[in-house]
Homo-oligomer: A and B are copies of this chain.
Amino acid sequence: MEFDVSMVVRDMCIIVLAAKFLGLLARKIKVPDVAGEIIAGLLIGPSVLNLVNTSQYLSALAEIGVIMLMFSAGLSTNLRSLKKTGLKATAIAVFGVFVPLILGTVLYMCFYGFAPWGDEKFYRAVFIGTILTATSVSITAQTLKDLGRIKEEVATTIMSAAIIDDVIGIVVLTFVIGLKDPEANVARVCIFTVLFFVFVALVGYLIYRLFKYYDKKYPHTRRIPILGLALAFGLAYLADDVFGVADITGAFVAGVILCSLKDSDYINRKMDVNSYMLFGPVFFCSIGIQTDLSSINMSILWFSLAFVLVGLLSKIIGCGLISKCMRYSNRDCLKIGVGMMTRGEVALIVAQRGLQVGMLDSTFFTSVILLIIISSIMTPIILKGLYSE
């Protein structure tokens, strides 16, 4: 017992209070809660008040929180509607992933110099692109609901594309994280990425059958969400330790495996309680605590500005152009592009992972946080404008 547990109690009190307070304040000024929670972390962290510092146990709690968030994201996937979606949404998703990926990579090289394939700096550049791939559709969905347009074709296309976007984004991340290993070569990473997905496809089907049987026999019992959570931890560990790919992929895939269960909503609600009570605030605060404001200089500010611009435009260009090819009207193309441009938790989780494996500097957190805040504020405003005229 070499560390003082009373520190834990104190930290938790400060984190929970600060996160909730600034989260509610953020909501009042129409900024996502998450932004408030990150700023809470900045305030209580070493940058400002120095009340709470990074620590081993805080990283552990944040890690558990990330696994839960990604598991929950996977659970929200709707495989049935995904099958029906067809070519349109898939094409939009593909362009919505690869255009930001490429433009993000180019952006980093414009600022920090060109690097050839295989160079460490090249991977850092690709990682910046990877952060830009993940769409967070919740704010768009809320806006379309408010406008009463959620059942229209453009809206359902956006929703489906966002889910496929998540899946493709995860595959990209899985691959990119695999490259972190200095001994890794691209062929090896490819093989292990493919092996991982083959493994989860096979094992996943068996697990799904097992859960389905359980779900039928003991519906709405505690054991279902508990075993689901254990599956998320288990696959996350296997992904990282055996296949050398991103652990959050494992947690996401665990969610996808269980998303067709009758009780998937039930599991998700239970995960949600765990997330919002403690693990969510701890994760987002810890992002703020880790962000070192003193290392911010003009160069990083310029980069952040460019990063936000590229982040917003790359989704509009990627998703908009391919929509145009599929004969949507100009206005609908814009709606789809704008609807896909919001970023959220997943971008942060990806950035956090990059920090852990040494592919990202903590200074870039500022850029990611700015992108989340600005995109979350602008999407509803622009969408309302596009629909009102």
Residues of A within 8 A of B (CB): 1-3, 5-6, 8-10, 12-13, 16-17, 20, 24, 56-57, 59-61, 63-64, 67, 222-223, 225-227, 229-230, 233-234, 236-237, 240-241, 247, 270, 273-274, 276-278, 281, 355-356
Chain B residues within 8 Å of A64, by CB: 8-9, 12, 278
Q: Which B residues are CB-close (under 8 A) to A12?
A: 64, 67, 233
A358 to B: closest C-beta gap in Å = 9
Extra contacts besides A8-B59, A9-B240, A16-B230 (7): CB < 8 Å: A1-B356, A3-B59, A9-B63, A9-B64, A13-B234, A13-B237, A20-B227
Which residue of chain B lies nearest to A225 when distances are taken between CB atoms in the complex?
Answer: B277
Residue of B nearest to A282 (CB): B64
Question: Whole-angstrom distance between the alpha carbons of A375 and B17 in the complex?
Answer: 40
Known: A10-B237, A277-B274. A20 touches B230 (CB 8 A): yes
User: Which B residues touch A16, using CB under 8 A?
Assistant: 226, 229-230, 233
Chain B residue at smallest Cβ distance from A24? B223
Show 8 A/B contacts (Cβ-Cβ < 8 Å), sorted by A.
Answer: A5-B63, A5-B356, A10-B233, A13-B230, A13-B236, A17-B234, A57-B59, A274-B274
Residues of B within 8 A of A60 (CB): 5, 8, 57, 60-61
Known A60-B61, A277-B274; contact A233-B13, beta-carbon cutoff 8 A: yes
B278, A270: Cβ atoms under 8 Å?
no
User: Max chain B CB contacts within 10 Å: which of A9, A233, A277?
Assistant: A9
A6 touches B247 (CB 8 A): yes
Q: Contact check: which of B63, B227, B277, B281 meets A8 at CB < 8 Å?
A: B63
Given A16-B229, A56-B56, A277-B226, A9 contacting B236 (CB threshold 8 A): yes
State A277–B281 Cα separation when bound (angstroms).
18
Question: Knowing A61-B60, A270-B273, A274-B278 touch, does A9 contact B237 (C-beta < 8 A)?
Answer: yes
Partner among B2, B8, B20, B67 whose Cβ is within 8 Å of the Cβ of A9: B67
A233, B9: Cβ atoms closer than 8 Å: yes
Q: Which residues in B have their C-beta under 8 angstroms from that of A222? A: 276
Partner of A56, one of B3, B233, B236, B355: B3
**Which of B56, B226, B236 touches A20 (beta carbons < 8 Å)?**
B226
* A227 contact set on B, CB distance < 8 A: 17, 20
Q: Is the CB of B63 within 8 A of A20?
A: no
Q: Is there contact, CB below 8 Å, between B240 and A6?
A: yes
- CB atoms of B277 and A17 under 8 A apart: no
- With both chains docked as a complex, state the minimum distance between the C-beta of A117 and any C-beta of chain B, in angstroms: 28
Contact of A237 with B5 in the complex, beta carbons under 8 Å: no
User: Once the chains bind, are B276 and A226 in contact (CB under 8 Å)?
Assistant: yes
Chain B residues whose C-beta falls within 8 Å of the C-beta of A13 in the assembled complex: 230, 233-234, 236-237
Q: Which residues of chain B are within 8 angstroms of A247 by Cβ–Cβ distance?
A: 6, 9
CB-based nearest B residue for A356: B1
A252 to chain B, nearest CB (A): 13
Inter-chain CA distance A13–B236, complex, in Å, is 9
- Shortest Cβ distance from residue A236 to the other chain B in the assembled complex, whole angstroms: 5
Chain B hits for A273, CB < 8 A: 270, 273-274
Complex Cα gap A251–B276 (Å): 20
Nearest chain B residue, comparing its CB with the CB of A10: B237
Q: How far is the CB of A180 from chain B (nearest CB, A)?
A: 13
A245 to nearest B CB, angstroms? 12
Q: What distance in Å separates the Cβ of A271 from its nearest Cβ neighbour in chain B? A: 8
- A247 and B12 alpha carbons, distance in the complex (Å): 14
